Amino acid sequence: MKLTKIAKQFLESLAEVVETLNIEPITRRGQSLIVLLALVLTGAAAFSKSLLLSASFFVLSFLIACAGGKPLRPWIRIVSLTLGWVTLVSIPLPFMTHIKSDAITLALTISWRVNSNGIYIMIMFILRTIAAASIFTSIVYLIGWKGMVRGLVGLRVPREIIMLLLSSIVNIPLLLREVAKMMLAREARVFNDTRLKDLWAIL
């Protein structure tokens, strides 16, 4: 399969992910509290400092997804897509070593030897991302994008941010599908000659 077709399928999957969460909420009560809980748990999962804590957040997200009584297949698909993306992005991490240039900054250098520190950073990066994405997705899967918007309104979030979210929900799937079509059009034939290394850098 050509790289263009793989990229096209990936973009179409992203569009479907956004649309999957555009569902009716299971409850209209306490949506502001639910949204606040989603933001707090997502932030805590994203900055968790241990493997056990990240794994605990993931298990919690699974239980929340099950609590809604909805099919788990869409949730599993979203988490799987996130896992594939974050794994692709984190491939260079095992080859990175930390060198302290001074007491404040931390420089990264590339070496062609896999080191244990880089592997640990990669695992933690993947677990944090998956934990944060899964727990946010599980809560949105219960109340839908409409519930998220109502919750943000209840939290008195600035109107500009809410309008930006609404615009993103509507336009992102359309934009991703148009980009996917362009990749197979004549204007995108340059991708056929792009090396895998360069395409990964673009992604």
pLDDT 10s digits, 73-82 = 878 888 888 8
The mean pLDDT value for 159-171 works out to 79
Between the two ends of the chain, the Cα-to-Cα distance in Å is: 18
The mean pLDDT value for 108-129 works out to 76
Query: Of 174 and 11, which is predicted with more confidence?
Result: 174
CB 17 within 8 A of CB 71: no
The secondary element (H helix, E strand) that includes residue 99 is strand 96-100
Whether the pLDDT of residue 96 is over 50: the answer is yes
Whether the pLDDT of residue 102 is over 50: the answer is no
- In the prediction, which pLDDT does 105 show? 46
Whether the pLDDT of residue 170 is over 80: the answer is no
Q: Which of 20-24, 158-162, 198-202 has the lowest mean pLDDT?
A: 198-202
Out of 17-21, 62-66, 116-120, 190-194, give the one with best mean pLDDT: 62-66
Whether the pLDDT of residue 174 is over 50: the answer is yes
* Cα Rg of the chain, angstroms: 19
pLDDT band at 99 (very low <50, low <70, confident <90, very high): very low
- In the prediction, which pLDDT does 100 show? 47
Whether the pLDDT of residue 180 is over 80: the answer is no
Query: Of 68 and 80, which is predicted with more confidence?
Result: 80
Whether the pLDDT of residue 188 is over 60: the answer is no
Cα–Cα distance, 127 to 145 (Å, whole number): 25
Question: If you count DSSP H runs as helices and E runs as strands, how many of each does the chain have, helices first?
Answer: 7, 2
